[in-house]
Structure 1
Amino acid sequence: MNAAVASPELAPCRPPLSLLGSEPLRAAMELVRHTLADTVPEEEASDGHPVLVIPGLGSDGLALAPLRRFCASRGYPTLDWEYGRNIGPRGDIDAWLDGLAGHVGRLLSPYRHRATLIGWSLGGLYARELAKRMRPRVRQVITLGTPFDLNADHTNVGWVLKLLGGPSADTLDEAMAQRLRTPPPVPTTSIYSRADGVVAWQCCRHVGNRRRTVRDIEVEGSHLGMGWNPEVMRIVGELLKPARKNA
């Protein structure tokens, strides 16, 4: 499994509307592939550490149910974030994240091992920020199609920037932008697709970061289908294995 190598090959730009328009069909095809795939768990030892899955903007736990079932089938206690539909932070973003961190801490309190946090799209931004707040409780972060290095020209849902503290849908405070770019102090993997019709794939990579604990991995697929894309499932399964020794 090779990490993508950052390069200046293309400047980030808003994905073409043709990709955005084909997202539902491509995601449906990926769901069919997932359903038809052999889902019998491999013979492998699980250390039983918990996995917490955070949905993307506008979705809830149902959208990532296939991913949760996959992780659970591999022997990992897998939790929904139990925060309902993800409609973005409300009020002051830091106060909101503090509240979410307290909630997640309570969800993880029954477990002895540190947790893997998996976040899809906007949920990946939450996962990264939670890991900065909850380092002793977090084993690693995995994000799926998460544009942590973004601005309004890089996404087809630019109004999400306003949710994250920008004064308008066209700008994002530079301090906040730098904060979102900075990876958490735990092993962090960004899974992205160049065929993403919602966010610019270039914004899902740690450009210029040389930390060995940070990786970017490219897959083929849609943004909406990240939660059941078979290749994403395979990579997540590899990242969860105790052999990574990041517990």
Structure 2
Amino acid sequence: MRRNNAATALNPSLTLLEPFRAAMELTFLQFTAPPKALPGDGHPVVIFPGLGADGTSVSILRAHCQDLGYEAFDWGQGFNTGPRGELGAWLEALADEVSRQLEKHDKPATLIGWSLGGLYARELGKLLAPKLRQVITIATPFNGSADDISASWISSLLGGGAASIDPLWIERLRMPPPIRTTSIYSRSDGVVAWETCRHDEGSRLVEDIEVDGSHMGMGWNREVLNIVADRLGQHAGPWRPYGGPT
């Protein structure tokens, strides 16, 4: 079991270098070609942006999914400013909105969330499981604790600005959805502690995959995009463990 604790911390130098590293990842993406992939089956992919971001921030990720042959779109709520009001009610309302967006589709959907958006994707994965194929999170610190300083900003946001949220919610966030779930994380993340982006225990439905990259550049990190392509292309059933691009 991998239980996180308050000892998780960020490297200040990595935090300061986040914008530069993200820019370098974008440059690298522009000069590298994606590996060949089989045409997608057209199933819907809903992408949730990170804190303070909107659909523009995930445009490269969305275009990548569309190029692969999937019907990808962002969450349609504009800028992600964090939950408003009581957390449970807010998530229920968001689930209802996403469910309406998926009504016109006849195939189970994939939910992808970046950072804070990944928490939304995971919780909606629990609320909408019968309508979903899988959940993919990118640099999402779901496994922090109430007193973990590295995840305090997430706790504050979900608690409506309070210093912490109900411990029951901390435990709920740790629990993966009852469907296939992938967490992509980086040990060189300068915004969230990588330890909080991994599950305590593995299972046939859960896989944590490490990449080398910045937090701010995850949405266009070539390795992240390769993993997303692999996950989207897998058929129903337990995960085939990720072994790199083919």
Specify if TM > 0.5.
Answer: yes
RMSD of equivalent CA atoms:
2.2
Pair 1:7–1:199, CA change in 2 (3 A): same
- Return the offset for 1:165: 2.3
Q: Does 1:140 align with 2:115?
A: no
CA distance in 2, matches of 1:243, 1:154: 39
Q: Does 1:33 align with 2:28?
A: yes
- Return the offset for 1:185: 0.4
CA distance in 2, matches of 1:194, 1:174: 26
Structure 1 counterpart of 2:222, one-letter code:
P
Q: Does 1:217 align with 2:217?
A: no
Do 2:84 and 2:90's aligned partners in 1 also have CA atoms closer than 8 Å?
yes
Do 1:12 and 1:200's aligned partners in 2 also have CA atoms closer than 8 Å?
no
Q: Deviation per CA, 1:185-214: give whole Å up to 9, x if none.
A: 00000000000000000000002x242101
CA distance in 1, matches of 2:19, 2:184: 19
Q: Does 1:229 align with 2:221?
A: yes
CA distance in 1, matches of 2:58, 2:160: 28
How many pairs are equivalent?
238
User: 1:3 is matched with which residue?
Assistant: none
Q: Does 1:102 align with 2:112?
A: no
CA distance in 2, matches of 1:242, 1:168: 40
Q: Does 1:45 align with 2:39?
A: yes
Structure 2 counterpart of 1:190, one-letter code:
S
Q: Does 1:178 align with 2:171?
A: yes
Q: Deviation per CA, 1:197-233: give whole Å up to 9, x if none.
A: 00000000002x2421011000000000110000000
* Partner residue of 2:15 out of 10, 14, 20: 20
Q: Sequence identity of aligned pairs in percent?
A: 50
CA distance in 2, matches of 1:46, 1:166: 39
- Return the offset for 1:37: 1.5
Structure 1 counterpart of 2:104, one-letter code:
P
Ranges in structure 1 where 5+ consecutive residues have no aligned partner = 1-5
Other structure's SS at 1:192 match:
strand
Ranges in structure 2 where 5+ consecutive residues have no aligned partner = 240-246
CA distance in 2, matches of 1:186, 1:85: 27
Q: Does 1:70 align with 2:51?
A: no
Q: Deviation per CA, 1:63-113: give whole Å up to 9, x if none.
A: 111000001000000011010100000001111111111111111111100
- Return the offset for 1:154: 4.3
| TM-score using structure 1 length | 0.89
Q: Deviation per CA, 1:8-42: give whole Å up to 9, x if none.
A: 79975221211111000000000111112214x73
CA distance in 2, matches of 1:162, 1:78: 30
In the TM superposition, structure 1's runs of 4+ consecutive aligned residues that sit over 6 Å from their partners are 8-11
Other structure's SS at 1:158 match:
helix
